Amino acid sequence: MKKLLSYALLIAIVIVSMMATIAYFTPPKKVPNYSDAELRELAINKGHKAMPSSLDELISLVDDASNPMTQEKITLGEELFFDTNLSKSGKTSCATCHSFDRDLKNSGALLKMLTQKEPKTNDCAACHLRDQSGVDRFTFSQGDRDTMHPHLLNTQTILNTAFAKHFTWSGEVKSIREQSANSLLAHHKLNMTKEDINSTLAKNPKYKKLFAEAFEDGITFDNTAKAIEVYVKTLVTRGAYDKFLDGDDTAMSQRAKRGLANFINHGCKGCHAGRAFGGESVQRFPLREFAQLYDVKPNFEVIPTPKRLDSEFPFENNGGYLGKGDAHLFRVPILRNVTKTSPYFHNGAVPKIREAVDIMGRHQLGRHLTLEQIDEIVAFLKTLEGDIVDYRETK
Amino acid sequence: MRRFLVKFFILLMFISGMAQFKLFDISWEIFRVVQPLHIAFSLLVMLFFMNSFIYKHIRRYYFVKKTNSMDGWMLLISFVLVTLSGVYLLLVGNRGGDALGAVLFNIHLFGSFVLMLFFLWHITAPMKQSREPLALLAAILLFYPTISQSKITNLSNLEITKNGTKSYHSEDWTSSAKCKSCHSEIFEQWSNSNHKHIAGSNPYYMVMETLAGEVEGEKFREWCMSCHNPSALSVGFGKSTHAMDGNFVSNEHFEKGAKTLLKDFKEHGNFRLEEGVSCITCHQISDATSKGNASYKLLLDRKKYAFEDSKFTMPHLFSEKLINANPSVHKESYSKELYKDSKYCASCHDESHPKNGIKIVSTYEEWEKSPFNNPNDKTKHKSCIDCHMTNLSEGKFAPLKGTSTDGGTLKKDVKVHYFAGSNHFLAGLRDKKNEEQTVQLLKSSAQLDVAIKGKNLEVGVKNIGAGHHLPTGVADFRELWLDVEVKDKDGKLIVSSGKLKSDGNIEDKSRLFQKVFGDENGKPVGLLFWKYKTLLSDTRIPSGERRVESFELPKDAIYPLKVSVKLNFRIYPQWVSDKVRKVFPILPNPSIIELQRLEKELK
């Protein structure tokens, strides 16, 4: 008996000391302290360049030979984007879900709404229209006649998609043009048919003129999608981060700079790549679901009841969507303006940005980010917040 | 070996216990480690070693060797007493509610000295000659000054200025949900109060904060947040947030008992920040001045008992036991004399424009000049909490006898956390008891009188109950007015004032007691109260004073006249509620409270 006990004790000591040794020799990842110039260079080298500040620069970066960007198309696209007639009920437009104030100066949306006798916007938009976020801030998207998305998917931001290579949550759509067409036709979005659209547009002399100016073949369904694509491509935001890259050291706080260093060094930038910080690839999520198959916490309860975690997602999967090919493959979301687009993940299950960062750290990086790191990264993400650049002014 | 261990263990238990003795005043960092170690170690030693030793020891000497030792039996008695009192302290604690706790605490503390004396006597019995020097040595060892250390105060001052320069994390803001397990009644009161629902779940506030951000720039929100939402401000949030329920704004402002908060805490612990005015927002204030605009200092590095922050149930329960066993540090770190002082409340209840310094709310200044501020005569002096945190019953102050901690000391006047003020409406959405307390307080504030002077009917309103103007606070958004009806002998209505229009607003030319703000051009500011530059009118009633409103009577009035006067109060004007409802469509209308009513026949 005594022997058994001492062996058990010995084994316990060995195990504990092994764990301690491993922990000791795997210290937390050290993120170097960069000077402002070094950090700027690092960010640019990793591809996180600033957003263009002039239309010419933007066009040189994102123009597509199959649908060249022209001023006429932009004008037409804008009209189409905000036109509620392009929906079955006549009340929904692209901007219903991809919401932002058409007046880019965006002053006084709430005050306007409060003082209007018959407010035109809904109650959420009263406060959030001025966010200029390009989303509806809903948990799941609701299209024409409030039809819910069949998979209860959250609306993704339309801003900065000019720099994306994949679209929608599955990333299977390859161009904005394609997705514009999908959205016009989908029953849970604008719920139109090609014929409906053509006839609606043809009835309106304004469109006859605009289409004739923008396209050789006038009003067609394809041209509608093309014009919307060109307009959407001009919806680009610039924030404090871009100012920092342009040489203004004071644009970002020390905390945000540490956050950027964390973002790059911990490997977030691997997927959230490029100018838009995402949208360039399709990746698996959660990558490390094995890390927490069982929640061991309840083992310390008065009555131990270990529970198996939802092995699909680290949150409740309302809507049951499983990504591209049901294989947990998702387009990497764009992080520009992410702090304005809560709730997070494909079904909007995570309401707070800090929690989203924590989940990404644990399940994509396999790392328990410290509170300090999480708050720094959030501070950095806030610097990606910005208003839509009014390119008519920058010309 | 066993004999050596016994001595070693007893000494260790004694020293670790003594280290917690107030007299030594050891640093908190050491205290919080020593305390659980003392308990855990003592339990282990008692269970697995000491009991069997005592049993064998008695058997061997008393029963087998037939030796009887008086000091041995005394030692046993003191040992049993100290052990049992220790177990009681762990399981029940010394919370103050039962005298037994205090008695056993002292038995445990002073009994251990007795125990040590008997112990020394007992073990030195076989070697009587060398007793004295040993006892002396032990005493020197025990009380050697190095054991007590000077207090380390590396506690940093949080001073939430409008720039929020210092950075904190969500975990620094211990969730109020944690306080519930021991302070259930006060938690319940607070959870439905307007202090809890002062940020994200307050529709009026959310509209105003957003509007302020829109009109004055997003940074301007920080001014609002420094009092309404200091936790969010301190961790670097730029705005207050509201919870969502699917695609709808959560109806948290209707929700009783802070359900969302409790759920959040259960699922996310302290990782999800608690927004608004939480328990520790007020109870961690270390210093405050009466300047207003959040002129308080917050100290978030408070003294925590071992395992207090543990995410697991067992260690957390243990930490509660640790607090209960020796709660003095807990009490001290959450309550200060300052909290009884009016300037403590003034730090947020006085308000001026952050840039031009124009005073917008001056409740404290009003109180300072009022008869309620009477520091020379303590019997007449009444601070904020004497009215706003004292229980009311049947329209009178009826200090609540009870406990503030479950099982705690019985107090003559438990400070209730309804924070009864004037906003009966929002609190009433959640809790009728809270609303009723507020309405009682409101009704005790004023007195009406009527008389005919010449051709006029004079209605006097005296502020008898408030230590500040009536109304105070955001007095531009409060409606206190006279509803007057005069009928002549035949019952014909000859004077009428203060009725509601069909849209719910009070008719023009009514007699309102209020402050009207104008902007730089002398136009009413409407919702944008921070635009206030010129005072258009101030008809509020200062504390203890009487205001007279006169109504002209028709010359041909046939006496006697039947006069009916009501003093009405509405927390938000109709036009304000109408605007807020555009954003929060389910918000009901605030009801009109009749503060006083006077019916009189005048000849």
Q: Chain A partners of B242 at a C-beta cutoff of 8 Å?
A: none
B314 with A382: Cβ contact below 8 A: no
pLDDT at A297: 58
| Claim to verify: residue A326 and residue A362 sit in the same structural domain | yes
Helices (H) and strands (E) in chain A, counts: 16, 6
Q: Which of B235, B244, B311 is opposite residue A343, by nearest beta carbon?
A: B244
Residue of A281 and B288 predicted with greater confidence = A281
B214 with A372: Cβ contact below 8 A: no
Mean pLDDT of B226-243: 88
Provide, rounded to the nearest whole percent, the portion of chain B with pLDDT above 70. 93
Q: Chain A partners of B215 at a C-beta cutoff of 8 Å?
A: 108, 111
A111 with B313: Cβ contact below 8 A: no
| Claim to verify: residue A212 and residue A67 sit in the same structural domain | yes
Q: How far apart are CA A342 and CA A137, in angstroms?
A: 6
Q: Which of B249, B272, B582 is opposite residue A355, by nearest beta carbon?
A: B272
* Domain boundaries, position A364: 31-51+237-394
pLDDT at B137: 62
| Claim to verify: residue A229 and residue A247 sit in the same structural domain | no
Best mutation site among B214, B318, B576 for testing chain A: the one with the most A CBs within 10 Å? Answer: B214
Q: Which of B243, B249, B312 is opposite residue A300, by nearest beta carbon?
A: B312
For residue B162, pLDDT over 50 is answered with: no
Distance from the A334 Cα atom to the nearest Cα atom in chain B, whole angstroms: 21
Spatial CA neighbour of A51 closest among A212, A238, A222: A238
pLDDT category at B150 given cuts 50, 70, 90 is very low
Cis peptide before A286 (omega within 30 of 0): yes
The backbone torsions φ and ψ at residue A295, rounded to the nearest 5 degrees and listed phi first, read -85, 115
Task: Identify whether A383 is part of a domain.
Answer: yes
A297 with B215: Cβ contact below 8 A: no
Give the global pTM.
0.84
Task: Identify whether A206 is part of a domain.
Answer: yes
| Claim to verify: residue A260 and residue A329 sit in the same structural domain | yes
Q: Which of A176, A200, A233 is the last residue of a domain?
A: A233
Best mutation site among A352, A373, A380 for testing chain B: the one with the most B CBs within 10 Å? Answer: A352
| Claim to verify: residue A337 and residue A243 sit in the same structural domain | yes
Best mutation site among B247, B250, B267 for testing chain A: the one with the most A CBs within 10 Å? Answer: B247
A371 with B249: Cβ contact below 8 A: no
Intra-chain end-to-end CA distance of chain B, in Å: 105
**Residue A222 maps to which CATH number?**
1.10.760.10
A127 with B583: Cβ contact below 8 A: yes
Q: How far apart are CA A371 and CA B169, in angstroms?
A: 7
Give yes or no for A178 touching B (CB within 8 A): no
Give yes or no for A375 touching B (CB within 8 A): yes
The backbone torsions φ and ψ at residue B95, rounded to the nearest 5 degrees and listed phi first, read -85, -10
Give yes or no for A119 touching B (CB within 8 A): yes
Q: Chain A partners of B236 at a C-beta cutoff of 8 Å?
A: 255, 375, 378-379, 382
Give yes or no for A358 touching B (CB within 8 A): yes
- Which tens digit of pLDDT belongs to each residue from B252-282? 999 999 999 999 998 898 899 999 999 989 9
Lowest pLDDT segment from A252-256, B25-29, B40-44: B25-29
Q: How far apart are CA B15 and CA B6, in angstroms?
A: 14
Lowest pLDDT segment from A40-54, A290-304, A311-325: A290-304
Instruction: Return the residue of B nearest to A142 by Cα.
Output: B247
- Which tens digit of pLDDT belongs to each residue from B313-352? 888 888 898 999 888 889 888 999 999 999 999 988 998 8
Q: Chain B partners of A354 at a C-beta cutoff of 8 Å?
A: 170, 271-273
B210 with A352: Cβ contact below 8 A: no
SS (H, E, C) A184-253: HHCCCCCCCCHHHHHHHHHHCHHHHHHHHHHCCCCCCHHHHHHHHHHHHHCCCEEEHHHHHHCCCHHHCC
Instruction: Return the residue of B nearest to A146 by Cα.
Output: B247
| Claim to verify: residue A336 and residue A306 sit in the same structural domain | yes
pLDDT at A197: 94
Q: Chain A partners of B235 at a C-beta cutoff of 8 Å?
A: 375
Residue of A296 and B146 predicted with greater confidence = A296
Best mutation site among A127, A133, A140, A387 for testing chain B: the one with the most B CBs within 10 Å? Answer: A127
Task: Identify whether A186 is part of a domain.
Answer: yes
Residues of B near A (Cβ–Cβ under 8 Å) read 167, 169-171, 206-207, 210-211, 214-215, 235-236, 238, 241, 243-244, 246-247, 249, 268, 271-273, 311-315, 527, 579, 582-585
Mean pLDDT of B146-150: 28
Burial zone of A218 (CB within 10 Å; 0-12 exposed, 13-18 middle, 19+ buried): middle
Distance from the A386 Cα atom to the nearest Cα atom in chain B, whole angstroms: 12
Q: Which of A233, A253, A271 is the last residue of a domain?
A: A233
Instruction: Return the residue of A nearest to B172 by Cα.
Output: A371
Cis peptide before A68 (omega within 30 of 0): no
For residue A295, pLDDT over 80 is answered with: no
Distance from the A362 Cα atom to the nearest Cα atom in chain B, whole angstroms: 15
Q: How far apart are CA B198 and CA B276, in angstroms?
A: 6
Q: How far apart are CA B99 and CA B88, in angstroms?
A: 13
Q: Chain B partners of A302 at a C-beta cutoff of 8 Å?
A: 313-314
Spatial CA neighbour of B334 closest among B297, B385, B279, B386: B279
B314 with A300: Cβ contact below 8 A: yes
Give yes or no for A114 touching B (CB within 8 A): yes
One DSSP character per residue, B336-368 reads -GGGGSHHHHHHHHEEE-TTT--EEEEHHHHHH
Neighbours of B588 (CB within 10 A): 11
Task: Identify whether A89 is part of a domain.
Answer: yes
pLDDT category at B161 given cuts 50, 70, 90 is very low
Q: Which of B215, B313, B583 is opposite residue A300, by nearest beta carbon?
A: B313
Q: Which of A206, A233, A260 is the last residue of a domain?
A: A233
pLDDT at B296: 85
DSSP structure class, residue B59:
I
pLDDT at B155: 23
A123 with B271: Cβ contact below 8 A: no
Spatial CA neighbour of A81 closest among A92, A67, A95: A95
Mean pLDDT of A152-164: 95
Instruction: Return the residue of B nearest to A130 by Cα.
Output: B214
| Claim to verify: residue A40 and residue A74 sit in the same structural domain | no
Give yes or no for A72 touching B (CB within 8 A): no
Distance from the A141 Cα atom to the nearest Cα atom in chain B, whole angstroms: 9
pLDDT at B164: 39
Q: How far apart are CA B24 and CA A290, in angstroms?
A: 51
Q: Chain A partners of B164 at a C-beta cutoff of 8 Å?
A: none
- Which tens digit of pLDDT belongs to each residue from B192-206? 999 999 999 999 999
One DSSP character per residue, B250-290 reads --GGG-GGGHHHHHHHHHHGGGSPPPSS-HHHHHTEEEE-T
Q: Which residues contact B102 (CB under 8 A, 6 or more apart)?
A: B94, B96
Distance from the A66 Cα atom to the nearest Cα atom in chain B, whole angstroms: 38
| Claim to verify: residue A169 and residue A261 sit in the same structural domain | no
- Which tens digit of pLDDT belongs to each residue from A124-147? 888 888 888 999 999 999 999 899
Q: Chain A partners of B238 at a C-beta cutoff of 8 Å?
A: 382
pLDDT category at B154 given cuts 50, 70, 90 is very low
3-state secondary structure of A348: coil
Instruction: Return the residue of B nearest to A136 by Cα.
Output: B247
Task: Identify whether A25 is part of a domain.
Answer: no
Q: Which of A110, A139, A301 is opposite residue B313, by nearest beta carbon?
A: A301
If you count them, how many residues does chain B have? 603
Strands B400-402 and B411-414: antiparallel
B582 with A123: Cβ contact below 8 A: yes
| Claim to verify: residue A199 and residue A293 sit in the same structural domain | no
For chain A, the domain total comes to 2
Mean pLDDT of B349-371: 91
- Which tens digit of pLDDT belongs to each residue from B513-531? 999 999 999 999 999 999 9
Q: Chain A partners of B219 at a C-beta cutoff of 8 Å?
A: none
Burial zone of B241 (CB within 10 Å; 0-12 exposed, 13-18 middle, 19+ buried): middle
Distance from the A155 Cα atom to the nearest Cα atom in chain B, whole angstroms: 12
- Which tens digit of pLDDT belongs to each residue from A176-200? 999 999 999 999 999 999 999 999 9
Mean pLDDT of A334-357: 94
ipTM of the complex in this document: 0.87
For residue A260, pLDDT over 70 is answered with: yes
| Claim to verify: residue A319 and residue A293 sit in the same structural domain | yes
- Which tens digit of pLDDT belongs to each residue from B578-588? 999 988 888 99
Q: How far apart are CA B557 and CA B244, in angstroms?
A: 60
Q: Where along chain B do its domains lie?
A: 2-147, 158-302+342-381, 445-602
CB B451 within 8 A of CB B502: no
- Which tens digit of pLDDT belongs to each residue from B86-136? 888 888 888 877 778 888 888 888 888 888 888 888 877 666 555 566 566
Q: B145-168: string of b/e by CB count within 10 Å (b at 16+)?
A: eeebeeeeeeeeebbbebebeebb
Give yes or no for A105 touching B (CB within 8 A): no
CB pairs under 8 A between A and B: 79
Give yes or no for A177 touching B (CB within 8 A): no
- CA angle B232–B320–B266, rounded 5-degree value: 45
Burial zone of A23 (CB within 10 Å; 0-12 exposed, 13-18 middle, 19+ buried): exposed
Task: Identify whether A207 is part of a domain.
Answer: yes
The backbone torsions φ and ψ at residue A151, rounded to the nearest 5 degrees and listed phi first, read -100, 10
A138 with B247: Cβ contact below 8 A: yes
Q: How far apart are CA B343 and CA B350, in angstroms?
A: 10
Task: Give me chain B's average pLDDT, please.
Answer: 86
- CA angle B202–B442–B562, rounded 5-degree value: 125
